[in-house]
């Protein structure tokens, strides 16, 4: 898709008998129980979640007052390194604790199928850690790839898209607001009930798990007063040329097809913005529109816009689709696949959403749960229905309702399990992640720290830094092949001679 892509997923964790202030310690223990090979030590160089792409840095991020429950009284504060307990995996991914949630961030990928494969590999990684931790504890540790614990807490599934910095920030925000609030018709993971809003009937099935939790149109925050468009500015590449769009409004998808459409359509919209597209439609109240769309399973809800009659989510998506067909058709086989499936899914949803139950999470859930709910006389927001909702997202393939549908041949899949299992161990060979993964596999004992954009390591008494900020443009197959063949650090240093390899500032975090 002419850009690097990635997905960061925070997993819900359940252990019987633990309270809210136990989750950070339990998540750390789970990360450290991961049985696979990994390097430790993350380099935070270039990371500042307070830096806003609109040209300023906020003094503090908004904090959810409910998060105080996770702070155990009397416990000695941990360093960032202790709390995160980062593991850099041999597939180039990052596995760490994020305030009481095990989080897996895929390596950088440059195709839709690749990012799906490594997202699914993440499910296998976290499940192996959960099984190892279960063995240590002697009681089950269960993980869910979802976005709510049904007790008022939401945790994120964040998408990353490398894009040109030349797109004006205001154009980016205004163009993405209508697209993001309407794409949930195919990207939503489905949800039983409504949270944080007493003005609506909680006996509701929703398209999206995250729609309940967004309060503003755009900001740098992620934990409280969440924005539809997150304006964090951490490019993890040459800052003068690139920004990394950090998308926090999406759901955790089990469906590979839904992930493909979510990532593929968003990438095409960004491509159009890079080529000069202005916002094709503007909504009167995007936050309110997102909630209204999520809470209407008929997909008939129309939301108000500037300069025209109200539009349904499908109609909004068709506006973006028409622009993409006009501008991008024929650009590549992957682009054409996304355009064809984008067209197909909108046509299906416009006629009969139930026909999408074999490919979309929300539609599969609705079809699976609706009859049971009616037979048992349960409300959508009942504890029983919400328990079933959680089990759809269970990472244990023997217990997951989603994987039960896959096993029955009722869900479309796009990647082979053998490729997923291979991706647990091996990085993509066509992005800079291959170099990170090689270090984790071969030279973990020499690593000082590893980040998205560089590797700090000790070699012959020297602290060296291999800067990877610029390694985002060309196909890296040849360099990666050369690096993969290196058995020693001497050989690695020789291979990358002439690349950005320095001996300064390596201990900077």
Residues catalogued as catalytic: 98
CA 140, CA 15: separation in Å to the nearest integer? 7
CA 465, CA 35: separation in Å to the nearest integer? 28
Helix (H) or strand (E) holding 217: strand 214-219
Closest by Cα among 393, 479, 401 to 436: 479
Buried-exposed string 254-279: b where 16+ CB fall within 10 A, e elsewhere: bbbbbbbbbbbbbbbbbbbbbeebeb
Query: How far is Cα of residue 66 from the mean position of the Cα atoms in its chain?
Result: 23
Closest by Cα among 134, 138, 161 to 8: 161
Q: Is the CB of residue 244 less than 8 Å from the CB of residue 163?
A: yes
HSE-CB for 298 with a 13 A CA cutoff: 3
Q: Is the CB of residue 492 less than 8 Å from the CB of residue 432?
A: no
Q: With H, G, I as helix, E, B as strand and everything else as coil, classify residue 362.
A: helix
CA 201, CA 204: separation in Å to the nearest integer? 7
Q: Is the CB of residue 174 less than 8 Å from the CB of residue 264?
A: no
Phi, psi of 89 (to 5 degrees): -85, 160
Q: With H, G, I as helix, E, B as strand and everything else as coil, classify residue 14.
A: strand
**Beta strand 226-230 with 214-219: parallel, antiparallel or unpaired?**
parallel
CA 149, CA 143: separation in Å to the nearest integer? 11
Give Dmax (Cα) for the chain: 71
- Exposed, middle or buried by CB within 10 Å (0-12, 13-18, 19+), for 198? exposed
Q: With H, G, I as helix, E, B as strand and everything else as coil, classify residue 89.
A: strand
Residue with tokens 């900077």: 508
Strands (E), 287-355: 302-305, 308-312
SS (H, E, C) 116-140: HHHHHHHHHHHHHHHHHHHHHHCCC
CA 373, CA 362: separation in Å to the nearest integer? 15
HSE-CB for 224 with a 13 A CA cutoff: 9
């Amino acid at each position: 898709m002419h850009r690097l892509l990635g997905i960061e997923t925070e997993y819900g964790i359940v252990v019987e008998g633990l309270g809210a202030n136990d989750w950070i310690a339990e998540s750390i223990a789970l990360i450290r129980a991961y049985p696979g090979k990994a390097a430790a030590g993350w380099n935070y160089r270039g990371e500042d979640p307070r830096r806003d792409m609109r040209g300023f840095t906020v003094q503090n991020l908004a904090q959810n007052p409910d998060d105080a429950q996770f702070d155990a009284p009397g416990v000695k504060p941990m360093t960032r390194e202790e709390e995160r307990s980062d593991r850099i995996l041999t597939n180039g991914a990052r596995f760490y604790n994020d305030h009481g949630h095990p989080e897996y961030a895929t390596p950088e990928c440059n195709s839709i199928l690749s990012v799906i494969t490594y997202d699914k590999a993440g499910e296998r990684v976290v499940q192996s850690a959960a099984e190892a931790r279960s063995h240590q504890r002697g009681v089950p540790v269960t993980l869910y790839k979802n976005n709510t614990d049904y007790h008022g807490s939401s945790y994120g599934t964040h998408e990353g898209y490398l894009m040109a910095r030349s797109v004006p920030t205001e154009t980016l925000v205004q163009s993405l607001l209508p697209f993001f609030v309407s794409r949930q018709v195919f990207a939503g993971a489905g949800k039983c009930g409504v949270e944080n809003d007493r003005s609506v009937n909680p006996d509701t099935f929703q398209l999206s798990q995250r729609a309940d939790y967004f309060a503003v149109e755009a900001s740098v925050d992620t934990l409280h007063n969440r924005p539809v468009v997150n304006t964090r500015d951490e490019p993890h590449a040459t800052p003068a040329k690139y920004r990394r769009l950090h998308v926090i409004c999406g759901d955790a998808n089990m469906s590979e097809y839904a992930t493909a459409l979510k990532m593929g359509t968003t990438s095409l919209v960004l491509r159009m913005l890079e080529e000069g597209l202005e916002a094709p439609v503007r909504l009167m109240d995007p936050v309110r529109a997102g909630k209204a769309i999520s809470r209407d399973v008929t997909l008939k809800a129309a939301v108000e816009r500037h300069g025209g009659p109200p539009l349904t989510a499908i109609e909004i998506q068709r506006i973006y689709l028409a622009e993409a067909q006009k501008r991008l058709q024929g650009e590549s086989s992957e682009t054409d696949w996304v355009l064809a499936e984008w067209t197909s899914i909108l046509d299906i949803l416009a006629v009969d959403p139930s026909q999408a139950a074999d490919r979309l999470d929300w539609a599969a859930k609705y079809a699976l749960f609706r009859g049971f709910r009616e037979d048992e006389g349960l409300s959508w927001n009942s504890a029983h229905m919400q328990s079933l909702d959680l089990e759809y997202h269970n990472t244990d393939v023997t217990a997951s309702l989603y994987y039960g549908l896959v096993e029955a041949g009722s869900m479309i899949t796009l990647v082979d399990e053998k490729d997923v299992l291979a991706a647990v161990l091996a990085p993509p060979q066509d992005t800079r992640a291959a170099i990170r993964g090689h270090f984790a596999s071969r030279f973990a004992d020499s690593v000082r720290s590893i980040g998205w954009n560089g590797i700090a390591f000790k070699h012959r008494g020297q602290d060296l830094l291999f800067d990877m900020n610029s390694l985002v443009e060309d196909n890296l197959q040849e360099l990666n092949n050369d690096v993969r063949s290196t058995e020693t650090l001497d050989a690695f240093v020789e291979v990358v001679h002439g690349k950005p390899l320095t001996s300064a500032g390596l201990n900077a975090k």
